[in-house]
Amino acid sequence: MRVGLVNDLPMAVELLRRVIASTAEHEVAWIAMNGREAVDACRHDRPDLILMDLNMPEMDGVEATRRIMAETPCPILLVTASVDANVSGVYDAMGYGALDAVDIPSVGLNGHSSEQTAALLVRIATIGRLSRNLPPVSHGQRRPPAPASPSQRLVAIGASAGGPAAVATLLGDLPPEFPAPIILVQHLDEQFVPGFASWLGQHCRLSVRPAREGDRPERGVVLIAASANHLVFEAGGELGYRAEPRDYPYRPSVDVFFESVAERWQGEPIGVLLTGMGRDGARGLKLLRDRQCLTIAQDKATSAVYGMPKAAAAIGAAAEILPLAAIAPRLTEACAPSS
C-alpha cells in the first residue's frame, strides 16, 4: 500500500516512516506537515491510505478528513498521540469517514514500542483488506428462524466509516419514549467503545452503553457491540460474543449480527445499514428482508462512504433506501404501538 503521512512533528513522521518501511508491503507516498498540505497532496496523488494526526497547525485532522473525503476520498486511519485525550475529535473525524483510530507508537530507550507498532500494522493490514472489498465469507449452514411475535420490536443497526456522526444524528432524532430496543454494531476497536458510548449519549435522549455478555435488549437503551469478537443472540435470547468466523475481515461483523437477529430474535426486527466502506451487513440485511422484515439502507447522497449501503442496494437487501434525516421518523412510525 502507498501511505500518506500527515503529522506536524518531525519525530513522529520519522517514526511512522520507519514503521511503514518495516514491511515490504507498504511504502510512503508523501508526507504532509498539516491538514492543508494533506488536502493538496491528495488532489495530486491519492494514496491507498492516509495516517492522519488530529492536532496540527493551519488545519487539523478533523477538517482535513472532512475535505479529503468530500473531494478525493480514500481510507484514513487516525494516528495521534492519545486517542483517549482526543475523544471528541476522533469521533468527529470518524463521522466524516475516518475508519479507525490508534495511538502513535511511543518511543522508549530501545526504540518504538514493538507492541504498539504491531497494533498499527494490524490496523493498516485490516484497512487494506477492506479497501480491496473482499467477497463475503460463508458461515455454513443456517439454522431455521425462530417464530416471531409481532409485538416485540428490535432495531438492529450496522455502520462503519462515517458511522459515528450518522448514528448520532439518527439517535438524536428519536424521541425519548422510543418503544423499541436498539442494538448497534459499529466497526470500531473495542478499547474505544466506552468513549464512543459516552459521546453518543451526549447526542441523544436514550441511554447508551456497551453490550455485555448476557445482556437482553431493553426499551429506551442503545447497546453497542463492544468486542473484537462478533456480537450475536444466543439461543435463550441473551446477547453474547463469539470468535467464529475467525477469518472474517470485519470484527465485529454486521453480517454475523444481522444473521443472528434473523435466526434468534423472538419478535419482529428492523434492520438498518448506514454509511461504511466495504460490504459488511449487506448479506445479513438481505436475510432479514427475506424474512419479511423492514430493512432500510442509507442513501448515497447522505453517506460519508457509500460502500455498505450500496452493496445492500445492489442485492435488493433494502426494502427502503432513505436519506439519513428520514430514517429516525421512519423507525418511529414503524415502531408505533399501532404499527
Q: What is the CATH number of the domain that holds 236?
A: 3.40.50.180
Question: Is 339 inside a domain boundary?
Answer: no
Residues 97 and 243 in one domain: no
Looking at residue 101, what is its pLDDT? 87
**Can you give the pLDDT at residue 107?**
60
Q: Does residue 41 share a domain with residue 121?
A: yes
Residues 174 and 313 in one domain: yes
How much is the pLDDT for 37?
A: 97
Q: Is residue 144 part of a domain?
A: no
Nearest to 321 by CA among 282, 290, 284: 282
* Whether residue 170 sits in one domain with residue 75: no
Question: Do 110 and 166 belong together in one domain?
Answer: no
Residue 187: active-site member = yes
DSSP string, 4-17: EEE-S-HHHHHHHH
Predicted confidence at residue 113, as pLDDT, reads 60
Q: What is the DSSP string of 290-311?
A: HTT-EEEEE-TTT-SSBSHHHH
pLDDT value of position 95: 81
Give yes or no: residues 288 and 157 share one domain.
yes
Q: Give CA–CA dist 315/250, Å, rounded.
A: 19
Q: Decide if 145 is inside a domain.
A: no
C-alpha cell at 106: 511511543
Distances (CA, A) of 315 to 53, 73, 290: 37, 24, 12
In a domain, 137, yes or no: no
At 237, list the grid cell: 435470547
Active site residue 160: yes
Give start and end residues of each alpha helix (H) in the chain: 10-21, 35-44, 61-71, 87-95, 114-131, 163-172, 193-201, 254-264, 282-290, 308-314, 324-334
Residues 82 and 219 in one domain: no
- In a shared domain, residues 235 and 97: no
Domain boundary among 131, 164, 197: 131
- Structural domain span for residue 307: 153-334
- Number of folded domains that form the chain: 2
66: domain CATH number is 3.40.50.2300
Residue 214 counted as domain residue: yes
Task: Give the integer Cα–Cα distance in Å for 99 and 76.
Answer: 6
Asked if 158 and 120 sit in the same domain, the reply is no
Let me know if 82 is a catalytic residue: no
Q: 184 with 286, same domain?
A: yes
- Report the chain (339 residues): mean pLDDT per 10 consecutive residues: 95 92 91 97 96 95 94 92 84 85 70 72 78 43 36 89 91 94 93 87 93 94 95 92 89 96 93 94 97 96 92 97 97 84
Q: What is the pLDDT of residue 132?
A: 59
Catalytic residue, candidates 26, 112, 187, 230: 187
Write down the catalytic residue from 103, 280, 299, 303.
280
* Displacement of CA 100 from its chain's centroid (Å): 8
Tell whether 143 is covered by a domain: no
Which pLDDT belongs to residue 111? 53
Same domain, 96 and 210: no
The catalytic position among 60, 160, 230, 260 is 160
142 occurs within a structural domain? no
Residues 224 and 301 grouped into a single domain: yes
